[in-house]
Structures are given as C-alpha cells and as structure tokens.
Structure 1
Amino acid sequence: MLGEVKAPVIRLMTYFMRHFDHGGSGERWRVITLFGRDREAAKLEGLVDRIHECGDALVIRGVPGIGKSALLAVATARAQAREVTVCGVSGVQSETHLPFAGLHQLLRPMLDAADQLPARQREALLGAFGMAEAGDPAPFLVALAVLNLLGEAAARRPLLIVVDDLQWLDRPTIEVLGFVARRVRSDPIVLLMALRDGHPTSLDDSDVPELRLGGLDPAASEALLDAQSADLSVGMRWRMLSEAAGNPLALVELPLALEAETVTAEAGLLPLTARLERAFAVRLAELPPHTSGLLLVAAANDGIDLADALAGGTMVTGAEMTAETLAPAVDAGLVELHEQALRFRHPLVRSAIYQRAGHTDRLAAHAALAQVHGRDPDRRAWHRAAAIAHRDESVAAELEGVAARARQRGAIPVAVTALRRAAEVSEEPAVGAQRLLTAAELAFELGRGDQAAELLALAEPSILGGLRRARAAWLGEVLEEGRNEGPARILRLVTTAEAVEAAGDRELALNFVRAAAIRCWWTDPGWEQRQRVIALAERLTVGEDDPELLMTLATAGPVERGADVIEGLTKVRGARLDGALTRLLGVAASTVGAFDLVGDFMDASIADLRTHGRLGLLTQALSTQMWRQVFCGDWAGALLVAEEAERLARETAQPRWQSAALGMLALLAGLRGEEARGLALAVEGERALGTVAISSALAILQHARGVIALCAGRHDEAFGHLWRLFEPGDAAHHRIWQQWVISELTEAAVAAGRPEPARRAVAELEQVATQSTSPLLHLGLRHARALLADDADAEALYQAALSADLSSWPTARARLQLAHGMWLRRRRRIQEARVPLRAARDAFDVLGLLAWGEKARQELRAAGEVSDLRVPPAAELLTSQELHIARLAASGLSNREIAQQLYLSHRTVSTHLYRAFPKLGITSRAQLRDALGDTSRD
C-alpha cells in the first residue's frame, strides 16, 4: 500500500520512524497521523534549523486528531538530531486549576539556575511555585524571570520548547508563555505551542504567528484509510472519508469502531470529536471492571503519577491495584506506562473514559483522590469540590484558601476560578455573593472586564451588606467607564461617595470621587457640580498636597483650580512617594497643561512601576509621559514611549490606553511625512477604542488627523478635524484638549481662508486664560493671536510670542519662527524672513520633524535661498527598539538593568546593541552618548 503513497509522505514517514525506531502503539499512531503533513513538518524543521540565527514562536492550531502532536514530535526529532535541548510540557484538562503547574513542569530541570536571577525576579518565580514567600505578587516579574532563565539555558545550548494541549494548561502558565513568545526573537529559542480549536486563551488576540491545520487532502486521506482498512466496502469507504473530513485520527479510529459495530446512524449525527470519543469508549466495554475503575480514577486525577492513580483506584474498588491491573488497557491502546507515569494515548481517551462513567462513579473517584492528595491542600480542595453534589461550607472555605494562596503566588486567574466555585457551594447566599464580588474585582484587575461583569451579575448585589453593595457599585462603575451619561452619572457617584464616607470607608469613598472627577474631565457637567466633587475630595483627603486631591482638582477644575494644582505640584517636587501616587501627580500636571512639570513625577513613577512589575499602571504612566515629550520637544523619546505604551496596553488589555498610544503614533507619523501610515494608525486607534465613547480619547485621534492633514498642506481638511474639539455636542469635543491645539486650529483656519471660527475659539479661550495659568494654553494663544492679527499688530505679537520663555518648548518656538518667517516673506521683507526661516528649518531638522522641516525649506526657496538636504543623524538609522536600548545604555545602565526596565532578556538587549554599534559608527559603549547626540536626552 505504501507504494501508492506520494513520495514526500514516504520520505517524511521514513524520517520520522528513523527517530522513533523503538515502536509502540503511540508512536505508530503519530507516524500514521503524519500523512500529508510534509509541508507543515518542513516548516517546523526550518525553525529548528535556524535556531542559531534567530529565535521564533509558533502556535499550531487545529481540531483534535488533526496531527498537532505528530508535528511537535517531528520538531523534537529534528532538534535532537541538531543537538538542540528539548524541554516540554503537555496540558492536562484536570490540572487547569493548579497555579503555575505547567510552568513548574517545564522549568523543573532549570530551577537550579534560579539563584543567578535578580533578587526580585527570583523571589517572584520561586514564590509562584510555592517554594518561597512572595510578599508582593507580580505576574510580570514571574514572566521576566522565566524569560531570563530560558535565555541563560539557551546560551549554553539552543533550546526547543514544546507545549502540547496548551488550552489545558493553567492560565497563569499560558500568560507567561505568551509573554515569552513575544520576546524570543534574539535568543536561540524556538517555542512551539499546540492548541485545540474552540478553546479561547490569552494567545487568541496576540501577534504570535499561527500555523492552522486543516484536514488532509482527498488523496492523502484515501491513502491513510486504505493503509488502515483495505477491505472496506465501497459504500462504507466513502462514508468513512466523508465523516472523517480529512482528520487523521478519525481515519484511523472510525474503521476500528466500525469493526466493533459502534458506528450507528445516531453516531453519524454527532460532532466528529464526540464520535471519536465514542470510538475510544467502545474499547472500555471489553476491559475488566477493576481496570475500568482504575482508568476512571486516572482520568479524574490532576497528574500523571501512577502511584496516585493506584491508591485512588484501590479506595474506589476495594481491591489492591497494581500496574498489572492496567495491562488490558495498555493492550487496547488506551494508555501507556513510562516508569512511574501513566499517560493516556490521546486526550480524547481521557475525556471518553470520564464522560462514559456514571455520575456517582465520578463523585467517588474525586472523593478518593481528595484523600490521596490530603497533604496538598489545593488539590484536596479541588477534588472535594468535584466530589459533592450539594452545598458544603467547609468545601467553600477550603476553596477560599486556595484562592488566597493563588493570589499570594500571583496566580490571579486561579483565584478567580476558586472563588467562583466557592460561591457555588456556599451555604449562605450572602457569603457566596461576597466571594463572587471578590472574584469580580480580581477579574477586573486582570483586565477581564467581560468576566468581571458576569461575576458581578451573579453576585446579586441586592443581598450584600451596605459597604459591600457600594463596592459592587464601584466595580460596576469602572466596568462601564465608556458609558457617558453626563451630569446624572456624576451626581450619582457623588451621592454614593457621601454615603460611603458616612459608613466609614474613606478609601472607597475616594474611589467614587476620583471616578466622578474623571467623568468631569470627559464631559463638563457645569461648575456647580464640579465644585461639589472638589469639595468632597478636599474633605476626604489629608492635606493640600495629597496626590489624590491634586488629581481631583486637576480633572474636575483644571481651569478654576489649575493654579492651586501647579502650586501644590511645585511644593511636592522631589518627594519620595510610591510609583502609583507619583503617577497621579504626573497626570495632574498634564491635565492642567503644565507639561514642563510632568517629567519631575513621571520619571520617578515609571522607574518605580517598572521595578515592581506593575505593568497596568506603567502603561498609563507611559501614556502621560509621551504627551509631555511631544509638547516639550523630545519627539524621538515620544516615539519610543508611545510604541512601548501601545505594546503594553495590548498585553495588559487596556484598550483606552492602547488607543491613546496609537493616536500619538499616528501624529508622529504625520510629522515625519508618513501620511498613509498615520491615517492607518488613527483608524486602528478607533478600532481599539471600540464602542467606548470617551471624548478625550476621540480628541486625541482628531488631533492626530488634524496634524497629519496640516503637514500635508490640506488646510481645510485639517480645520475640519480640529474643529470637532471645539464643537459642543460633538463626540470629540473637549474643553481642555482644545486649549492644547489652538495654534494648529488657527494655522489651519487662516491658511484655509476661514479665520472667523478661529477668532471665536480664541476669544473663548482668552476668557479661560484669565483664570488659568496653564503654560501650554498661554503658549498657544500667543501663537494664535499673531496668526490672526492684522499687519499693524502682527509684528509686535510675533515678537511678544518669541520673547516669552520657550526653553522648555522647542517645538512651539520653531513653529513660531516658521510662522513669523512666512509672514515676513508675504510682506516682501525677504532678508528679514530668511533669519527665522533658517532657525525654524534647523530646529525641525534637529527635532526630526521632517514635514515641518520641508515646509521651512519651501519657504526659504521662495525667499531665494536654497537649503542643503537634511542629513539624518546616525541615531535615525536605528530601529525603535535599538534606539530605546541605546539611549538607556548611554545613560549608564547595564544590559541586565535595561532588560529589567524593558521586560526583555539581557541577551536580547546585547543583540540590539551589537546591531546598533555599526549603524552609529562606534565600537564601544562609551561612545554612545556622543553618537546619539540630542536623542539621548531624557
């Protein structure tokens, strides 16, 4: 029969069998399922062959029995032939609730090297495994520790990591693997992960490449079926081919089921997976009762240890179980024994055994396993929970203990699952609701808003006590932050805060006040209501320089109380505070337009948040930092920060902040003359935002679109985009953001011949300026006044604007110089015009603002002066990642310190520096600062 099979398939089978010559039913099955997979196998072999040059990651996705495991075996064989170290882990459905169980299995051979990790990473990793106390669980520090541990192992010998049935690994392990997969490109590591269709994981929306396996083509299907069952009738052969739909496992197993007369008309209506389970289950009927009982215990067990299964089987059957009891199951091809491990031939065998058993038998199996795992409180609790069909407060309490330990180890998803199950078996409804509320809060911390909303709905807040009901209301508020109900919602938040304050929970009351203040930032409810928010914040906070108070004053009263905010920020400059609180001060500074103060707080906050692995808050801090860098002229830095913020926002599931970062990247692309890319990024930013109607987020995207059009010379279009920020009732209308774009709006309006709307906007902001000390507002107004003035007043207004202190605002100064030079040239004052135009051109060249630099060159040409082409500095030859790392290295950080900051392996940092040095024309680290020039500025 092999003579009829295509040559590439024979070659692949021969190759495979050469590396698995010991035979055995499991290996024979893997060989058979490899029919028609020569192209996919060659892809995996190629990844292994290139492992010395670059790392890679790949998700292999498909339905059960499609050949995922076989392809992993091919890659393993190739790695062994190439002297590549192979380590792996396989998910087991019953182990999904054991925190970091899969990760521990994967890293066990490498844990001796954990002592070489930085202290915080080592503590986080060992704490996750329950091998040390973890004072402050930090999931991202665990992930970084894993990346470094794998990187060190790969430095000694290239490493292939093989993960099968990833969908059944515990979620903390999956998230760590996703983190690693996005960062292995510079290490000699290949990570292959096989995943079953229909099981959502955190990798679904990631950018890790996928290899999706479909069915075998008709010729390969026929060859495989004929190799298995050559004597099928024509009708039955056609039916097998039709029902199998190219699935290799189905082509092997369904004919065997036919021989046992289990393929019925009813079976033909079942999904393929169910038919395959039934095909496996038929063999159970032929097994002795004790063997069947032992298999059920093994299927219910959350491990592969043979001794545990034998002990549980003995309890269930009342007879002494030994390995010999399993001999009939081994002969039937259902399980395999390897030393002290019991493995099912295929996951569908396990599920077939478990599903076929009666309900009472399954409860008995779990009850026995609860005793077997009596010394492991987590496993004992899960089996106890699976062994009852009624409510039991003692089981609920044990599961609550599981959740507490999981939180301590940083395994928040496991804690959520444990609390949900604890609520289901709680005897008191109010206690169960409290557990669901805690689970919902933890799910929200993970960025799983959909899961948090579901848990909150199950909690039935009406049966909770007063403060717990308020906690539920607070969670509901943050889950619905995209709903913009205006003043009514703000009033409800203030009323709730007052009630919570009266009940004695000051911290929760402050949460409601902060939420109300943020909504005031989104939509102005009027000064009376904003004043009430501010008054409540002043009553609840501990002093004039309390970060919570300054944050509330800035968001609820940025104009009316902006001067107080700036004064308070000036007083607390240099104070040593927690990174989360320092971030609030940076946000307060940015909200009142004092971007020159933002860095004093955000630099410290970002460093602290990086150290503690608080990536959710770090993302938000970076989003504030990038606007400070834009407005204060560090455009190269803004690009780096925006790219990191966008990447982290995706990883931490924060779409609002991802949208803001994409808006910044769109604006930067426009300023570099990359119009098409900028517009595409703006569209992507809207897509990330989804249905969330937050005016500040939409204002960012309109700001970006306006600048893109302005740089492209489409002034009418630019005005249209920017005017939306000034138009009451528009979704992008924002009373503060419009202060920051008044110069761009006026420039577009004047060039488009539409100065009157700009005059009205300037007049309204002049009124605001009488109350506000915002540096950015006054900067923009000075520019706008000069642009709108008649010839008699313009000269004096330009001089006034240029005479102001612009040392912290180099971009604004360059734009003023360009506008002044253009005004002078149009008045035929050619010699005078060349001076500011040259200054603007040179400033834009240094800043890297190519679009505005080209506009300055065009004006100079019109003034009779030809400019040399801009020579890009060497730093612009670097990729964003290379530039980011080079800047940190120039500041004196070591590779390991840079790696900790950027959540990379130190070898990845080394690789980027190795590539950057030749581009910069240098040979040593000491030359970096000079080579980078102004781009190394903080």
Structure 2
Amino acid sequence: MAHLIGRESEIAVLTEALGRAAEGRGGAFLLLGEAGVGKSALLAEVAGRARDTGMRVLVCVGVPASAGWAFAGLRQLLDPVLDGVDALLPATREALLTALGEADADGVPIQRVALAVLQLLSDAGQQMPVVVTVDDIHWLDRATSRVLAFVARRLADDAVLLLAAGRLGETDDNPLAEADLPDLPVNPLDRRAAEALVDSRVTGLPPAVRERLLAAAVGNPLALTELATVADRVGDDPAGPALPLTDRLDRVFGAKARRLPEPAASMAAIVALNDADAVSEALAAAGAITGRPVALDDLSAAEHAGLMWVTAGHAGFRHPLMRAAVDRAIPAERRRAIHAALAQSITTDDDRRLWHTALATAEPDEAIAVALEHMARRRAQHGGDSTAAVALEHAARLSPDPVSAARRLAAAVSVYSFTGPGTSIRRVADRIDLDLLGPLEGALVSALVATTAVDRWAGPQNRVLQAELMLRHGRDDPARAMELLSSNALLSWWGNFDDGAREFMVRAVDSLLMADDAPLRLLGEAVSHPFARGDRVRGLLSARSPAELGGLDQMKLGDAAICVGALPAALTHLSKAVTGLRHTGQFAELLSALTPQAWAAVLMARHDMATNAADEALRIAGEVAFPRTAITVMLAAAMVAARRGETRAAGEVAARAEAGLAHAGAFPLLSMVQLVRGTAALADGDPERAFAALLEVCDPGARAYQQNARVWALTDLMDAASLCGRLDEVRSLHASLTDLARRSGSPQLLVATAASAPLLAEPGRAGAAFDAAFAAGIEQWPWQRGSLLLSYGRWLRVQRRKTESREALRSAYALYEVIGAPAWAERAAAELRASGESMGSRSPRAASALSRQELQIASLAAQGMTNREIGERLFVSHRTVRNNLYRIFPRLGVSSRGELAEALGQQGRQWTGSNDVREEHAGGHTFSA
C-alpha cells in the first residue's frame, strides 16, 4: 500500500480508533477539509489497513446526481450485510426493507430505519469488526445522512467505526456534520510534505516551475499531483492575480474532458449526470446520443486520461472535482438530451425514468408535473420525504398554471417541515406567491416557516389572525382549517390573552366541522379558552374510551387535559400516546408526546417518569432537530434535577434556555425557566431567591409572566413566601386564582389554591382552612399534598400540639423520600426534630448506584424485555444494552435478570396517592405516606 505523505498524525488517530473498534469500543469521526485535500485518500488508507487486519469495510459515497434520492447512499452501504436482516425485530426489519425498496409498506418512519441500521451494523460487528467510510457527505442524500447521524452517536459499545468525510464550508444543515461527532481536520500539507509529494510524482522540474507549482497548490495534495502534469502552465505570472485553487483544477480537468474523443466524451458527460453508476445505462444512453452502438472499450480513453474508473459493471470519476468539472462544462441543451437518453435507458425503475424525463423537459408540462406529484406521495409513504420534497419542487417548475405551481411549492414546504432543514423550508417558501394560495393554505405555509426560525418566535398572537381566517374560510376548506389549527395549537395556551381574544379563538374552533368529542376539537377548545371550556373538555375526556384511539389522538387529548388542569388524565392519555407512537416509529410525533408527558409528570411529582420521558425525548430531539422542543423538555428534566438537589446543573440548563428563548422573543416560555430557578432556590434553602424567581411567572408586568402557568408556580411560590415572611405580597394573587378556580373548576388550580390557603388564614381560622384543604381531593396531587402536610405539621407544632404534628410531618417526610425531593424531606425532618422526635440517617436509594440510562435499562430488563427490545425502546444497540447490564448486576448485587425487580423495588416506587406505606391520624385527618 502506498504511503500517504504528510498524514502521519491523522493516520495515528484513525489507527488507534481502528484498534478500539476491534475491541468492541467503536465510535465515529468527522473528517473535514477543502476539496482535494486528501480526505478520500485517508479513508482509503484506513479502509486498507482495516481489511489487512481482518475487518469488514462498508463504503458509500455521496454523488450530486443522487443527492435527491432518499436512501441512495444506504442502499450502496448495506448491500454486503443485508443477509443479516432476518435477525431484526419484524417492524424494524420491514421498515429497513421498505426504505431500501425491497418491501411494500406505507408510512415508514426514518428513525425506525435508523434503528434497523444500528442493529444490523451491531450484529455485523459481532461477527467481525466493521469500518464504515462515508465520503463526500455534502452530496449524500439527506435520508442516509440522518440515518448515519443517528447511528454514529450510538457506537460506543459496538465493534463498528464510522468515518465520515465532507468538504469544509459545504456541510451546512447536514445531519452528519451536525451530529457532534469528534472531528479530525484534514489540513493542507506543510511545506516539507508538499515538496516530498511533488518530488515523488515529477522529477527534474526547473526550480522556478517547482516553486510556482508549490505556491499555486498551497499544500493541496490533489492540486500538487494534478497540476504537476501541466507544471509548465502553472502560474504564468507569479505577481499577477491567481485563480482560486478549485478553478485551476476545474480548468485542468475540464481540459482533459474536452480532449476526450467520442464516444468517451459523451460517456463521461452521461456518468456525470446519472444518479446511478451502472455502465449498462451509460452505454445505452451514449448509443442514443451518438447514434451508434457504444462498447465498454470506448471508455478506455477516459480511464487513460486519469478521469474515470470502470470496474465490475460500474463507472465513476476518480475525484468529485473531476465529475464537477465535466458536469459544469455540459451546455443546457446537451444536458437535456442526456437526461432524455437516460430516461430511455432506464427500464426497471419508473421513478428514476420519470425523474430524468422531468430534467429533460424545458417547457411546462402538466402531465409530468402530475406524475411527479404522484411520485412524491409514494416516496413520502416509504420514508423518502426528502425525495418527495424535491419532486414537488420540480413539479412546480413544470406547472403551466401559476396557482398549481404555488400549491405544489406549498406541499413541498409541508414535506420539508418533517425532514428539515429549515433553510430548505424558507428557500421554497420565498418562491411562493401567497396571493395565489387560498387564505388558509397561505397561513399554513407562514406557520410552518415560523416554526423553523430558531431566532424568532412568531408568538401566540398569530393564533388570533389564524382564528379569523378559520372563521371566514373554514367551511370552504375544512381540511386545511383543521391542519392550520393543529399546526401550532399550543401557542394559544402560551399566550397572555384577555377573555375577548380567547372567546374569539374558541369561536373559530366551534366553527369547524368536527364532532363534539373529536380530539382536535377538544385540544382547540382547551388551548383557546382553558378555564371557560374546562368543564366541557374534562367531561368529554372522561367519557372517551382510551382504547379506541391512536397515538396522535391520544396525544391531543393528553395536551388538552394538561391545559384544563386534569393532570392525572393527561398522564393516562400521554402514556398511551407514547406507547403507540413508539410502536409505530413516528418519532417526530413521539417527541411531541414525550415533552408534555415529562412536564405533566413533573407537575404530578412522578420524577422517574419525568426523567425517563425527558431522556427519551432528548435522544429523539437530536434526530428530528426541533430546537425549541428540546429546550422545553430540558427544562422539565431540570425541574427534576432541582428537586433532587442537583441545583447547579439545573441552573446551568435554565441559563442556556433563557438565552435561547429570550433571543427568539419567546418570553412566555421563560416561565418554565423561572420555575426551574425557583425550585432550585428552594432546594438550596434560599426562599428569598425562590420568591423572586417564581413571582415573575405570576406578575403581569414581568417578562416571564404567563397567565396559565401561574398555577404551576403557585405551590412553591406560596411556600417561598411563607418561609421568607412575604405572604402579604401574594394575598391578592391567591385571592384572584382562588376565584378563578371556583369559576373554572380546574382540578389543578382548586388543589393548588386549597393547599396554600391555610398559609394566609387568620390565626383563628387556620384549622378550618386545613380541614378544607385536606377535603379538596388532594390525594392524587403529591407535590401539593407534601406542601400541605409540611405546613400542617409545622402549624401543629407551633400550636404546641407536638405529638399530633409528628404524624403529619412523618407523612410529609416519607412522601418526599418516595418522590425523591431530599431538600423538602430534610425540611420535614428538621420540623420533626423540633417536635422532639429523633431522626436517623437517610438510606441511599438503589438508583444512586446507577446512571439514568443504566436505571432505565435495568427497569426494562426487570419487566422481561429482551436486549433487542430494550435497545429499540432506548434507541441504542442491543450490544450497548448487554454491556450496561454487565455493569449493573454487580452494582445492585444481583447475578441474574430475575433478581432485578426485587433489587429495584424500593427505588422504582412512584407516589400515586393510593399506594399507602402507612396510615396515621392527626386532627381527624388520615395521612398516607
């Protein structure tokens, strides 16, 4: 194997990575550098070393002509290992085969395809270590890039090394480039290495010519080797203006291509424009172009010129710059003729034949546009959203009717909203004349564009404008009206609207032709006017049978339940939604269900559930790229961290979230930031800081004010006010929320106001206030119940009823221990000590021995799930699951999976309000802990 000059350090890094992969400690690297700097040579060098040591090498290369074809790179990559698909779980196997075009199914989700590829490579790595090289990722189809980005982040426990290479400055919005992989810069060669490379290629160059060559190539290996062949023409005037390096190389390669005889010249142009590398297609197309039969030997001139390679029925260019030079040199008319010839030569793939037919067509053609639209629909059903979007763009280009063109571009925007990137959405939207669309369709395009703007929040005020459109046009276009309602419905809840605006928005929902108990209607009512429509929504929620609904409808009902304060019902619906969406592999929708599940679990003090939901959501968020959703779910996880005493980490999350949300102008969402800060301050024993943070959620003049989220903050705000002697400052707030609770019937608000009312009661009426609070249905609300028990026990102690106080305080202590809130448990313990009861030291939870992922794996294994099933649930390989279980067993002191359930018994308990540990009585109240 030829030695690469000047790449010793890069080869050392990659050789070490090869060794780790061979030992089952895989990973990934991203190689970035300018065109021709030697990335491909490095990949080839590593691949050769891998083969020499008995490793399997899988290869794929991005090609401009196939960049729009979903999973084109994946088909190229996986062909040698597809015999392992039978080991995959059925749904995963079907998703992969459908994506690769080897099975028929509808609606394949790309994340399930990614899981299949991860498991397939993991299995292959167990037979022999695997090296995956992915070159020219800037030209790789987006679907393959998304799949490999998913895989690359999850190889730490597998005998698989993934190496991706891309061109510096050309990987914006590329999932592989944005996957936070360790990067290995591939820089130009230093002077000594450049000289050595030139001298190894050309001897006897005059010193002046050699110097001009070195100066022109600026350390680029491709330039050094290719320009050396025309060294006498490099840099005629060293003092004059120099062409950019790529332009110099383009001239060299273009000149070589122009000197090719026919039919080699036509063959080279055909291969440059084809989205496949089959020689048979190129030969047939060349015959149509030249008007005579063309044989394989006719390509020898291109091989001898150093432009192309031909092997085993396939042909390609030696370097992407060579292909690009040939491509750029093809005039438009000849380009269309080549695409027409390719369309004739393709006999087994209707979509590819249609694609080349479309590219060969210069004038508008409605028949082809319709065919492309149909193709887009098929591709989207098979996971090829990126292909579908590009097909719709071309359909718009060929549409004779401007209205049809606008409609097809709007459809492309809608498809891009599922795949990203945001730049594509905005690029296509900028080409749409919204005046040519219906009002609702135009509003939907604007809404989708707004969702991609990470630095700009459209804000809930847009919902009022959308409501007006729905009232005016909803009956004419009901499907579009409901799509518009669904696109960003929750913005209505997050807005700080007066009753007039809310009544207007709910009128728009009422105007749509939906059944009274339709999930979308209930969600629309709940977000538009949560307090006025709360009773109706809660009644219909309780009447619905959860078993009759799919995951998306369950998610809508769960969101509606949160908005109207029915959190126990929300957790029921959202848990079913998560299970259903996870099973069907609808991962973007799953993220949208996990995020409210995490927050509902936080508000119900179901901390393990909240953590699991947040962890799963964050794993998905990295794949579907919804940054604002990721911020929201990170804040839910930070709430749990704060309650568990991890206040520094929680504060860091809050600071990052505040920066992003404030920059975008999403000020109502800052209420969640302040909730985290207030909770962390209480955990740190700083009630003044907690009071200041939480008051911002409830103060209409504060930046973080959010009228509906006030109920989320009320319990901790009242506790903080009590601890720092500032209750008078919140009396009017509590009174107004108490009145709202009575009028609305919101269970969450009724419980929160009742639980905190005794803190404000006159001395002689506190007992009656506590009686009313315990009778307010608080058993299902652990956080409010803990606060009430603690304040009641403290009040009894101050009243010198110490014996009675201990019963309430023991219950508070036990509750906070169970739900995992050590600072609050310590407050209860301090009150117990003040009452005269000695407290032993707290026993550590079993969970303290495990990381979050280990705890999730152990819990799922204890439920009887296999390693493969756990891997799919947690989006990791089954080998990662196995390795984690090896570490978990000794930490928990078990030797088999059957012992896990007992070992996890205490740490896995959740407070539900009915699983009593013991019952104690004080002042006529029964306390369950």
TM normalised by structure 1 equals: 0.90
Identity of aligned residues (%): 36
What is the one-letter code of the residue matched to 1:95?
S
Matched, 1:42 2:15: no
Instruction: Find the aligned partners of 1:67 and 1:866 in 2 and give their Cα distance.
Output: 72
Structure 2 residue aligned with 1:425: 398
- Counterpart of 1:496? 469
Structure 1 residues 767 and 515, CA gap change in structure 2 (3 angstroms): farther
Residue 880 of structure 2: aligned partner: 908
Do the aligned partners of residues 865 and 280 (structure 1) sit closer, same or farther apart at CA in structure 2, a change above 3 Å counting? farther
Choose from 126, 136, 150 the match for 1:179. Answer: 150
Aligned to 2:474, the other structure's residue is in SS state: helix
Please report how far the alpha carbon of residue 436 of structure 1 lies from its aligned counterpart in structure 2 after TM superposition. 0.9
SS where residue 622 of structure 1 aligns? helix
* Structure 1 residue 561: Cα displacement: 2.3
> How far apart are the structure 1 equivalents of 2:325 and 2:460?
57
CA deviation after TM superposition for structure 1 residue 837, in Å = 4.1
Cα 1:565–1:294 change in 2 (3 A) is closer
Superposed CA offset, 1:622-645 (max 9, x none): 111112222222212211211221
Q: Hey, what does 1:559 align to over in structure 2?
A: 531
Does residue 454 in structure 1 map to residue 427 in structure 2?
A: yes
Q: Which amino acid aligns with 2:360?
A: A
SS in 2 for 1:458: coil
In structure 2, what is the equivalent of residue 213 of structure 1? 186
Aligned equivalent of 2:913 = none
Partner Cα distance (2:742, 2:333) in 1: 78
Aligned length: 904
SS in structure 2 of the partner of residue 480 of structure 1: helix
Report the CA distance shift for 1:280/1:517 in structure 2 as closer, same or farther (over 3 A): closer
Distance, in Å, in 2 between the alignment partners of 1:347 and 1:423 is 30
How do residues 2-17 of structure 1 correspond to structure 2 at under 5 angstroms? 16-17=1-2
Superposition deviation, residue 592 in structure 1: 1.6
**Cα 1:349/1:911, change in 2 over 3 Å:** same
- 2:62 pairs, out of 87, 91, 108, with 91
From 477, 483, 493, give the equivalent of 2:447. 477
The one of 82, 85, 89 equivalent to 1:111 is: 82
SS of the counterpart of 2:475?
helix
Instruction: Confirm whether residue 294 of structure 1 aligns to residue 267 of structure 2.
Output: yes
Aligned to 2:27: 56
CA distance in 1: counterparts of 2:863 and 2:478, whole angstroms: 42
Q: What are the superposed Cα offsets for residues 653-701 of structure 1, whole Å, 9 maximum, x if unpaired?
A: 2222211111112222222222221111112323554744445522111
Q: 1:79 & 1:747 partners in 2: Cα distance?
A: 63
Whole-Å separation in 2 of the counterparts to 1:896 and 1:516: 35
Equivalent in the alignment of 1:408: 381
Matched, 1:336 2:306: no
Query: What SS does structure 2 have at the residue aligned with 1:724?
Result: helix
Q: Read off the aligned partner of 1:138 and give its amino acid letter.
A: P
Write the letter of the residue equivalent to 1:83: G
Give yes or no for the alignment of 1:247 onto 2:220.
yes
Please say if residues 742 and 750 of structure 2, whose CA atoms lie closer than 8 Å, have aligned partners that are also in contact: no
1:153 maps to which of 111, 124, 140: 124
Q: Is the 8 A contact 1:658 1:688 kept in 2?
A: no
Corresponding residue SS for 1:192 = strand
What does 1:474-873 align with in structure 2 at a 5 Å threshold?
Answer: 474-480=444-450, 489-503=462-476, 505-513=477-485, 518-540=490-512, 542-689=514-661, 691-798=663-770, 800-802=772-774, 804-823=776-795, 834-859=806-831, 867-873=839-845
Q: CA contact under 8 A between 1:262 and 1:282: conserved in structure 2?
A: no
Partner of 2:115: 144
Deviations 1:885-904 (A, max 9, x none): 22223233333333333333
Q: Alpha carbons of 1:806 and 1:727: their partners in 2 closer, same or farther (altered >3 Å)?
A: closer
Query: Out of 263, 269, 288, which is 2:242 matched to?
Result: 269
Q: Is the 8 A contact 2:5 2:193 kept in 1?
A: yes
Match for residue 132 of structure 1?
103
> Residue 291 of structure 2 aligns with which residue?
318
- Please tell me whether the aligned partners of residues 494 and 516 of structure 1 are also in contact (alpha carbons under 8 angstroms): no
Counterpart AA for 2:693:
H
Cα pair distance change 1:756/1:254, threshold 3 Å: farther
What's 2:924 paired with? none
Cα distance in 2 between the residues matched to 1:356 and 1:520: 54
**Structure 1: distance between partners of 2:555 and 2:490:** 15
1:54, 1:187 within 8 Å by CA — same for their partners in 2?
Answer: yes
Give the distance between the partners of 1:487 and 1:261, measured in 2 at CA.
61
| C-alpha distance in 2 between matches for 1:429 and 1:262 | 50
Contact 1:885 1:909 in 2 (8 A): yes
**SS of aligned partner of 1:520:** helix
- Structure 1 residues 352-361 or 432-441, which shifts more? 352-361
CA contact (8 A) 1:268 1:275 kept: no
Residues 296 and 537 of structure 1, relative CA distance in 2, 3 Å threshold: closer
Distance 1:235 1:812 in 2: 84
CA distance in 1, matches of 2:836, 2:179: 53
Give 1:196's aligned residue: 167
1:742 offset after TM fit, Å?
Answer: 0.9
2:342 to 366, 369, 387: 369
1:122 is the counterpart of 2:93: yes
Query: How far apart, CA to CA, are the structure 1 residues paired with 2:509 and 2:326?
Result: 61
2:582 and 2:150 mapped to 1: Cα distance?
16
CA contact (8 A) 2:109 2:587 kept: no
Q: Gapped runs of 5+ residues in structure 1?
A: 1-15, 18-30
CA 1:235 to 1:545, structure 2 compared with 1: closer, same or farther past 3 Å? same
What is the identity, as a one-letter code, of the residue corresponding to 2:187? Answer: G
How far the C-alpha of 1:420 sits from its partner, in A, is 0.7
Query: Per the alignment, in what secondary structure is the counterpart of residue 50 of structure 1?
Result: helix
Determine the C-alpha separation between the residues in 1 that align with 2:837 and 2:216. Answer: 78
Q: What's the C-alpha RMSD, in Å, of the aligned pairs?
A: 2.8
Deviation at 1:754, TM superposition (A): 2.8
Deviation at 1:827, TM superposition (A): 6.4
The secondary structure found in structure 2 opposite 1:58 is strand
Aligned counterparts of 1:644 and 1:306: Cα–Cα separation in 2: 46
Cα deviation for residue 442 of structure 1 reads 0.9
Q: CA deviation at 1:137?
A: 2.8
CA distance in 1, matches of 2:810, 2:590: 40
The SS at the match of 1:187 is coil
Counterpart Cα distance in 1 of 2:650 and 2:533: 36
SS of corresponding position for 2:743: coil
Whichever residue aligns with residue 288 of structure 1, its letter is P
Conserved? CA contact 1:377–1:402, under 8 Å: no
Distance 2:828 2:625 in 1: 41
Tell me, in whole angstroms, the C-alpha distance in 2 between the residues paired with 1:102 and 1:287: 30
Partner of 2:917: none
Partner in structure 2 of residue 74 of structure 1: 45
Question: Helix, strand or coil for the counterpart of 2:779?
Answer: coil
Shift of residue 407 of structure 1?
Answer: 1.5
Q: Which residue of 2 aligns with 1:352?
A: 325
Q: Distance in 1 between matches of 2:839 and 2:347?
A: 81
Sort the Cα spacing of 1:498 and 1:804 in 2 relative to 1 into closer, same or farther, 3 A.
closer
Question: Quick one: which amino acid aligns to residue 103 of structure 2?
Answer: A
81-90 vs 114-123, greater mean Cα deviation? 114-123
SS of corresponding position for 1:741:
helix
Q: Is the counterpart of residue 384 in structure 1 residue 354 in structure 2?
A: no
**SS class of match (1:933):** coil
Q: Distance in 2 between matches of 1:629 and 1:491?
A: 30
Match of 1:223? 196
- In the alignment, the residues of structure 1 paired with residue 305 and residue 239 of structure 2 have an alpha-carbon distance, to the nearest angstrom, of 25
Deviation string, structure 1 residues 387-433 (Cα, Å, up to 9, x no partner): 34443444434433432332232100111111112212222222222
Deviations 1:846-900 (A, max 9, x none): 3222333344445556666664443322222211112122222323333333333
Q: Deviations over 1:53-112 (max 9, x none)?
A: 322122211111222112212321232233222111112221112221211111122333
Task: State the 1:160 CA deviation.
Answer: 1.5
- Note the C-alpha offset of 1:521: 1.4
Match of 1:931 in 2: 903
The alignment status of 1:256 with 2:240, answered yes or no, reads no
